[in-house]
């Protein structure tokens, strides 16, 4: 069963790379191209992703334990606290990856992309602190960096749920890839507005 995570990583790595190369994500960790505007756009796109996944897992009796690890309410609060303290924001883009609340493979995929994003978030949080961006609010990144400690517990729970519900690994990996593609799509739409 542990090969579920190898499959997820393998099937999403190209999309992850594309995401990292797409504005505004391609400005993160790069002092020469990073700006307040790219940070704001980055947060609005991530807000759309987290809102979408939160409505899939919150109040979903199938995945109470998953919800406890992902902490959707605290995550949304953190990102909206940051957004409220910023001005001249783009509207939060519509995000829809077509996942189903009733499908355990889809829910695991959503948890994977959410929890996995905490790894990049940990680096970005450290980078923001080290590079004197104290004028930017970082509740969201501080929170995501902290839930990164749930990664192992998430993996164990996901494997257990995958086994109990006999999920299709293929569908799970496909849904995870779709979540990345929708992030890229949202980023491209936000970029069009900015240009
Ligand atoms: C510029 C922004 C980002 C950077 C620099 C970044 C960087 C990273 C790094 C260094 C890892 C660990 C890779 C490893 O240990 O093998 C990782 C993993 C991951 N990231 Fe990102 N990331 C970024 C944005 C995102 C976003 C926005 C998401 C999704 C919302 C995301 C989802 C994931 C996932 C799911 C993994 C787990 C891959 C695995 O080990 O299976 N990342 N990221």
Domain ranges of the chain: 3-194
Does the pTM of the predicted model rise above 0.75? yes
Which residues, judged by CB distance below 6 Å to any ligand atom, belong to the binding site of ligand 1?
A: 5, 8-9, 16, 19-20, 25, 28-29, 49, 112-113, 116-117, 119-120, 123, 183
| Candidate CATH numbers 3.20.20.70, 1.10.3720.10, 3.90.79.10, 1.20.910.10; the one for domain 3-194 | 1.20.910.10
DSSP per-residue codes, the chain: -THHHHHHHHHHHHHHHHHHHSTTGGGTT-TTT--HHHHHHHHHHHHHHHHHHHHHHTT-GGGHHHHHHH-HHHHHHHHHHHHHT--SPPPPPP------TT-HHHHHHHHHHHHHHHHHHHHHHHHHHHTT-TTS--HHHHHHHHHGGGHHHHHHHHHHHHHHTT--HHHHHHHHHHHHHHHHHHHHHHHHHH-
Written as tens digits, the pLDDT of the chain (195 aa) is 459 999 999 999 999 999 999 999 999 999 999 999 999 999 999 999 999 999 999 999 889 999 999 999 999 999 999 999 999 899 999 999 999 999 999 999 999 999 999 999 999 999 999 998 989 999 999 999 999 999 999 999 999 999 999 999 999 999 999 999 999 999 999 998 766
How far is ligand 1, taken at its centre, from the CA of residue 19, in Å?
A: 9
């Amino acid at each position: 069963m542990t090969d579920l995570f190898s499959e997820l990583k393998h099937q999403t790595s190209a999309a992850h790379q594309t995401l990292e190369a797409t504005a505004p994500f391609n400005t993160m960790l790069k002092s020469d191209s990073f700006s307040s505007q790219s940070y704001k756009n980055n947060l609005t796109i991530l807000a759309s992703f987290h809102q979408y996944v939160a409505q899939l897992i919150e109040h979903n009796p199938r995945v109470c334990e998953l919800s406890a690890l992902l902490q959707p309410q605290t995550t949304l609060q953190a990102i909206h606290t940051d957004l409220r303290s910023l001005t001249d924001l783009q509207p939060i883009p519509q995000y829809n990856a077509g996942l189903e609340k009733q499908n355990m493979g889809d829910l695991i995929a959503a948890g994977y992309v959410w929890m996995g994003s905490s790894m990049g978030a940990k680096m970005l949080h450290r980078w923001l602190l080290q590079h004197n961006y104290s004028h930017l609010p970082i509740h969201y990144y501080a929170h995501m960096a902290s839930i990164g400690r749930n990664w192992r517990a998430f993996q164990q729970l996901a494997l257990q749920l995958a086994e109990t519900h006999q999920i299709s690994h293929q569908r799970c990996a496909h849904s995870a890839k779709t979540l990345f593609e929708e992030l890229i799509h949202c980023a491209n739409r936000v970029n069009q507005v900015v240009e």
